[in-house]
Structures are given as structure tokens and as C-alpha cells.
Amino acid sequence: MQASIRIFAGLLVSTVAALALYQVFQPPEAPAQARQFTSSQECAQCHAEPFREWQDSWHSRSWTDPDVRALSNDFANTDCIDCHAPRPVFETGLANRVLPRAARRAEGVDCIACHQLPDGGMAGTFDRPDAPCRPQARRELAQVEFCAPCHDQHKTVTQWRASSYAAQGIGCIDCHMPYRNGDPNQGRDHTMHGGHDIELVRKAVALRAQRSSGAVVVEIENVGAGHHFPTDERSRAADVFWRPKGETAWRWLYRFRSPYRHEVELTDTLLPAHATHTLRIEDENARGALEVALFYKLTPYWKTPAAPDPEAEAKLVHRVELSP
């Protein structure tokens, strides 16, 4: 009895010792196989939600977008390739303009362009060397500097810096990448709405009209954009029109827009964050009931602000009525 206990105890000791030795000589946990990703399609398998949202976004269409193809002459203007089919932002660095890539251009501004680090890992919010895509914590991904290599060409980031949003620490992703279902644990929506979403454009501005000493005073206030309105792409414009109630033709009043460089006769009339622009209608036809409306256009192909039918070429943002 006593002997068998001793044998058992001896066996136990040697097993523990052998296990300890095995522990000591075991090589440290090997990092995951450095998997190289050659297409953003590969991310879909494990990140279905961001993938679906990205497919729905204009980032995924930046190479195929018909308006970009038309304006760049099907990318015969090679300057246009840089940001519309870019190499990874972290490769060129956040302070620099991105460089064009040669492969898989159809994927546009894709997962790899935004997330891939020079060592092949993915910029994220934590370090997980054992995960297949090797995420690494990179605070810069959530900062405005990350959008700047592509979005400051038309000064959107510079406009933001001059606004009170910068002082409050409300960055690009707070408005353009809200948490899914408002829950910080569910990650951020990659759809990144902009000018193509008229509901977002509606939140950017307020339109008011009132009578004051014989004239109609119209006010347009930037209440919701974290930068000038309408920002970025120079083909965007917002036009104020009015018409006496019952008439069909709109009368043009004012255009908010940043001109192309060759349009030397025009000045920049974008509306800064929180600013209000005031206009007066001093027309005898404005004494009766009237309507005032703000329209938003996306493309460069609607050239004349005085177009008689903005409804056919632009989208209605807001409309107010005024009694006599």
C-alpha cells in the first residue's frame, strides 16, 4: 500500500517535472502566418458587416463612378488615379498625398488602402498578432489626419480645423462613421454618407424667410456640417431660388460654391460651419405669397444657376412659404 503510494507520488513528480521541462523548451507562441492580402474581397469572409457597408459606399465606387470617369477622360488624366485607386495611406504616411496603385483598381478606396500597414498587418483599435490579419492599435486611424491625404485637396480638413468642432474634438468619423445602432461595442458604419445622401445634406443647413421693412429677408445657416457647406468636390453647389406662389418658374438668387481654378471670374461662396448668410429680395413680385427654396446639385454638368427648372437637375433641400 505504502509502496504503491510512493510509486504513484514518484510518477506524479516526474510527470510534473517533464511538463515543466516541456514548458521551458517549448518555443514561444508563434505569430500567425503572415498572410498577405491581395484583394479586399478576402476581408468579406471574416468582416461581413464593414464589407457590405463599404460596397454600398462611394469609396468602393471611386474607380467605376461614371462622373469621375467622364471628368478624368476615363483616367487618361493619370493625376486622377492617385486618390481614386490609392496605395495604402499608412504606406505614404498621413502627412502626404497618397500614390496610385497598379493592381485591382476597380476596388477603388478599399479596405487595404485604409487599413493595411507597411508590414502587412491591419491598423485597428487593438493588437492581436494571433488573428489572421494581424490587427495593430493605431490611434491615427480615428483622427482627422487620416482622412486628410485624400480629403484636404479641397480644404475640407482645413475648414474643419477652423471650426468649433475641432475645439470640441468632434472629428470626421463622429459624423460620417457613426457607431452601428449607436452602440460603441458594435463598431463603426462604413457607408460614409456624403453629398449623395440628400437626407444628410438636409441636416447641414437651415433655411428661413421673413418680411422686414418691405423686403423679404432670407437666411441660410450652416447648422450641421463640420466644415463649409457644401464642402469638397467643386462640382457641388447649393442654389437659393424663389417664386411668387402659383408661378412655375423659379427665380435664382444665390449660389454657394467653390469655383474650379480656371473660373477666375467667380469667388468662393461656401458657407463656413455655424455661419449664417443673409439675402434680401426687393422685388415688387415678392409682396404677395411666395416660396423660397434651396437646391443641391452634385455634378458639374448643371452649369447655369439660372436654369428655369432646378427640380429636373438638382435635389430639393428645404422649401419655406411666406404669406403676403
In whole angstroms, what is the distance from residue 294 CA to residue 14 CA?
84
Instruction: Tell whether residue 294 is a contact of ligand HEC (CB under 6 A).
Output: no
Q: Which residues within the stretch 229-258 sit at the binding site for ligand HEC (CB under 6 A)?
A: 229-233, 236
145 closest CA partner among 172, 106, 179, 109: 172
Check: CB of residue 169 under 8 Å from CB of residue 38. Answer: no
Q: Report if residue 122 touches ligand HEC, rule: CB under 6 A.
A: yes
Distances (CA, A) of 243 to 20, 206, 248, 251, 290: 87, 19, 8, 6, 6
Is 297 a binder of ligand HEC (CB under 6 A)? no
Site membership for ligand HEC, residue 112 (CB under 6 A):
yes
Q: Which range, of 13-21, 128-136, 243-251, 312-320, touches ligand HEC by CB under 6 A?
A: 128-136
Instruction: Pick from 104, 132, 254, 315 the residue near ligand HEC by CB under 6 A.
Output: 132
The correct pick among 101, 133, 155, 277 for binding ligand HEC (CB under 6 A) is 133
Contact 236, 228 (CB under 8 A): no
Using CB under 6 A, pick the residue from 90, 192, 242, 314 that binds ligand HEC: 192
CB 87 within 8 A of CB 98: yes
| Cα diameter, the chain | 117
Binding window for ligand HEC (CB under 6 A); candidates: 8-16, 21-29, 121-129, 283-291: 121-129
Instruction: Provide, rounded to whole angstroms, the least separation between the CB of residue 63 and ligand HEC.
Output: 8
Binding mask 59-98 for ligand HEC (x = CB under 6 A): x-xx--x-xx--xx----x-xx-xxx-x--x-------xx
C-alpha cell at 277: 448668410
